[in-house]
């Protein structure tokens, strides 16, 4: 088993109601992006505590930080041990959860970050 975890980024979190922008590589999605490559729809509004339960139910996940309006988790790929940083921001003005999911290493993720966000969206919709 390999371990390509990389170093945890120090620029994550919410600043001025925004998540960090994607770096311009095709291994990141962000609901606040204007770039068509990285743009993804925000998630429907839900209590962060409920979202945390969904995220915790997914394999190879570690919750790093959780507050009333922010959740940060690391997802590890099964074979190579790559780590993706996934953040959620409950935006009270827009009444949505903004999301950013990005690989720490490499350029391409073969669509894994987008697929993961859509899997979380499906799990949220299944609860309703």
**CA torsion through residues 119, 120, 123, 125, sign:** negative
Give domain status of residue 93, yes or no.
yes
What pLDDT does 121 receive?
97
Which range marks the domain in which residue 91 is found? 14-127
- Are residues 104 and 28 in contact, defined by beta-carbon separation less than 8 angstroms? no
Residue 6 DSSP class: -
What pLDDT does 109 receive?
84
Q: Kindly indicate the confidence band of residue 83, based on its pLDDT and cuts at 50, 70 and 90.
A: very high
How confident is the model over 84-108, as pLDDT tens digits? 999 999 999 999 999 999 999 878 8
CATH code for position 120:
3.30.310
What pLDDT does 79 receive?
74
Give domain status of residue 7, yes or no.
no
Give domain status of residue 95, yes or no.
yes
- The token pair at 51 is 């979202």
Q: Kindly indicate the confidence band of residue 1, based on its pLDDT and cuts at 50, 70 and 90.
A: low
Q: Is 34 left (phi over 0), alpha (psi -120 to 50) or beta?
A: alpha
Mean pLDDT, rounded, of the chain: 92
Give domain status of residue 6, yes or no.
no
Domain count across the chain: 1
- Are residues 6 and 105 in contact, defined by beta-carbon separation less than 8 angstroms? yes
- Are residues 82 and 1 in contact, defined by beta-carbon separation less than 8 angstroms? no
Helix or strand run (H / E) with residue 86: strand 83-91
Give domain status of residue 4, yes or no.
no
- The token pair at 32 is 């606040």
Give domain status of residue 121, yes or no.
yes
């Amino acid at each position: 088993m390999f371990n390509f975890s990389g170093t945890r980024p120090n620029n994550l979190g919410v600043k001025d109601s925004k998540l960090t922008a994607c770096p311009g590589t095709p291994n990141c999605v962000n609901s606040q992006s204007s770039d068509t490559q990285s743009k993804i729809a925000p998630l429907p509004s839900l209590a962060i505590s409920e979202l945390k339960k969904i995220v915790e139910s997914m394999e190879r996940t570690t919750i790093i930080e959780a507050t009333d309006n922010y959740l940060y988790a690391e997802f590890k790929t099964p074979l190579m041990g790559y780590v993706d940083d996934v953040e959620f921001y409950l935006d009270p003005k827009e009444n949505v959860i903004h999301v950013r999911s990005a690989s720490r290493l490499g350029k391409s993720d073969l669509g894994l970050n987008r697929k993961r966000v859509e899997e979380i969206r499906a799990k949220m919709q299944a609860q309703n």
